[in-house]
Structure 1
Amino acid sequence: MTAARGGAAYARGAGAYARVGVESGVMSASPHQLIVMLFDGALASIRAAKLHMDNGNYQEKGKSISKALDIVNNGLRAVLDGEKGGEIAENLDALYDYVARILLQANLHNDQQRLDEAIRLLDDIGSAWREVGPQAHGN
């Protein structure tokens, strides 16, 4: 096997191992941990978009923002329970809608300030979620 083929095989194997690790983490996570993972994923995607924007890689920037939007809209917003969550769920839904809109604007206008705002908002909520988790479980 050549070095190039060996390197490619290693990369595929490492990627598969990472996917299994993530899938295992998701499968064994509590609902609270899954929400934390959604926040982490959205934040990582927005930070990646900033790096791509800095490097002029607008195609990858768009992919990263799309991934963050998917997490916000189909992850964080989708798990809100208006019946049980009441006003808090309504407020979070409005906030997630706002974050989605500023991400779209950031993508359209290559606006790092809007990405920074999305990071700040999601990080604030995610931090509060992380703090509540151990207390809710008695840890």
Structure 2
Amino acid sequence: MYTPHTFRTGANAYTRVGVETRAMSASPHQLIVMLFDGVATSIGLARHHMASGDMLAKGKAISKAINIVDNGLKAGLDARAAGHSGEELVGNLSALYDYVIRRLLHANLHNEPKGLDEAEALLENIASAWREIGGGHAGN
């Protein structure tokens, strides 16, 4: 018998396969845009769970956002590939990602939506630049 849980589990599996398939065929640029989209989704979920009082789900969503920033966006920075002129930019982005992580941790610990808003706004500034480079969406 199908239950709401069965449908939710199936939908999650379908979504996961779709994301994995897109990631496998994506260019490096598209992967970066996907990471920004993923962190924005996680922050949005955290905001929703914070407002509804679901602290466990809020913590999971914030942890996922932190993981994407730290192990995706920040780990993908490469000062050597950026060359001498790009080293400063890479350093600045690394520091910004560290700051975003601290704001997300603070928002989680203090149940503070302002921290989520600030992290989201900072990341969106960078994400919009990546989207512009690719012509407006991750499909380019």
Range into which the TM-score falls when normalised by the shorter chain = 0.7 to 0.9
Change (3 A) 1:106 1:9: closer
Please report the TM-score for the alignment, with normalisation by the length of structure 2.
0.87
Change (3 A) 1:76 1:17: same
Please report the TM-score for the alignment, with normalisation by the length of structure 1.
0.88
Gaps of 5+ in 2: none
Query: Which residue in 2 is equivalent to 1:26?
Result: 23
**Structure number with bigger Rg:** 1
Query: Which residue in 2 is equivalent to 1:49?
Result: 46
Q: Which secondary structure state, in structure 2, belongs to the residue aligned with residue 134 of structure 1?
A: coil
Map 1:81-120 to 2 at 5 A. 81-85=78-82, 86-120=87-121
The number of aligned residues is 133
Query: Which residue in 1 is equivalent to 2:126?
Result: 125
Change (3 A) 1:54 1:13: closer
Counterpart code for 1:94: A
Shift of 1:3: 4.8
Counterpart code for 1:100: I
**Higher relative contact order (Cα pairs below 8 Å, separated by 6+ residues):** 2
Change (3 A) 1:46 1:12: closer
Q: Structure 1 residue 37 and structure 2 residue 34: aligned?
A: yes
Query: Which residue in 2 is equivalent to 1:134?
Result: 135
User: 1:24-55: per-residue Cα shift (whole Å, max 9, x none)?
Assistant: 10001000000000000011101110100000
CA distance in 2, matches of 1:72, 1:3: 37
Change (3 A) 1:3 1:25: closer
Counterpart code for 2:33: V
The runs of at least 4 consecutive aligned structure 1 residues that moved more than 6 Å come to none
User: 1:101-135: per-residue Cα shift (whole Å, max 9, x none)?
Assistant: 11011111011111100010011110011101239
Shift of 1:63: 0.4
Supply the RMSD in Å over aligned alpha carbons: 1.8
Shift of 1:95: 0.4
Counterpart code for 2:30: Q
The sequence identity of aligned pairs, in percent, is 57
